[in-house]
Amino acid sequence: MIKIIEANTKQLLKEYVKFPFKLYKDHKYWVPPLIQDELETFDKTKNPAFETAEAYFYLAYKNNEIVGRIAAIINWDEVNKQGKKKVRFGWWDVIDDVEVTKALLEKVRELGVANNLEHIEGPMGFSNLDKVGVMTEGFDEIGSMITWYNYPYYKNHLEQLGYIKEKEYLENKFPFENVKLEFFDKAQEVIKKRYQVRPLNFTKTKDIMPYVDKMFDLFNESYANLSSFVAITDTQKKFFKKKYISFINPEYIKFVLDKDDNLVAFSIVMPSFSEALQKANGKLFPFGLFHMLNARKNSKDVLFYLIGVHPDYQNKGVHAILFKENHTTFTEKGIENCIRTPELEDNIAIHLLWKNFNPVVFRRRRTYLKMI
């Protein structure tokens, strides 16, 4: 018999967060999250996502053991402002028992029915800066701190239960040696003069902070036309500033400003923390922080986390300036591999940015949909 319990106490939430550590124990490619970071994500008093969303966290038990978990989420901005009557599910992990998945997803469906919503989609988080998608290919590649890893049977469970593919995401990688200056060096000099724009680089995190809100504003403008996009709020900006910016080498954040010092483009690159997180095994102390700091300084793999260009400057080659600045930094740091985080398969514009570097798709993931 399968029993579903809402994780609505500190102890149950901790068990909710720790369940994947049991499910993927000693797995070669699973990258554990930081436990405290996960708990703060689910804390209504700390995560501003709860100002515009509601979420419920469920644990599945069988023979008095935890065998699965799921989050049922409504992003009310998505429902009320965009008219998308959707209930989301995320942070879904389960043993290979489709009946457990069925029981967990029933709780998501119940939330949708109670709020007159029309369909279920997932896995996905509160916003576009959360993790997204169930892996369908690339199980023999190490995960990252900003993606979910899962066993191959997850996809089978959803399809057996009548869920259909909604959105497809691609993850690509290429060796840094594929990035040749001749692809963009002359072009970026022409673009600087033609549009009177210039790059801005950093060496200290504190110098970035005055620009972060503007960067998130530009992020909202850059991605507004994507079908899956929900803008992040002012309070969420503060949360993500704390959550992400301190992890990132200041040299890996690149801005482009116009003649009036307005931000017109940005890129955020992260060192790969995958192996460091595996060594930390969910805890920063006593040794996890050392592994994270070591990766921050010495990792030879980098993840292109976000690139944003103001709509007025899209299709004008401004990204060439970002590539030039990153090329200089990567050369200095001896970077060997470049990895792109999940990007929508139908986002042709973003894929065209990378075509000269001969990227290889190494993983696919998707969200699934079912009408209520």
Nearest in space to 362 (alpha carbons), one of 337, 334, 330, 326: 337
For residues 206 and 353, membership in a common domain is answered with: yes
Residue 262 has what DSSP assignment?
-
For residues 280 and 152, membership in a common domain is answered with: no
Q: Is the pLDDT at 115 greater than 90, yes or no?
A: yes
**Structural domain span for residue 336:** 175-360
Q: Is the pLDDT at 246 greater than 80, yes or no?
A: no
**pLDDT tens sequence across 24-62:** 999 999 999 999 999 999 999 999 999 999 999 999 999
Q: Domains in the chain: how many in total?
A: 2
**pLDDT tens sequence across 255-280:** 999 999 999 999 999 999 999 999 99
Strands (E), the chain: 2-6, 53-62, 65-75, 86-94, 119-122, 134-137, 164-175, 198-200, 253-257, 263-271, 301-309, 337-344, 360-371
Rounded to the nearest integer, the mean pLDDT of the chain is 94
Q: At residue 268, what are phi and psi to the nearest 5 degrees?
A: -120, 125
- The pLDDT of 234-241, averaged and rounded, is 84
Q: Is the pLDDT at 228 greater than 70, yes or no?
A: no
Distance (Å, whole) CA 100 – CA 94: 7
User: Looking at residue 250, which CATH number applies to its domain?
Assistant: 3.40.630.30
Please indicate, yes or no, if residue 216 is contained in any of the structural domains. Answer: yes
For residues 163 and 46, membership in a common domain is answered with: yes
pTM for the whole structure: 0.94
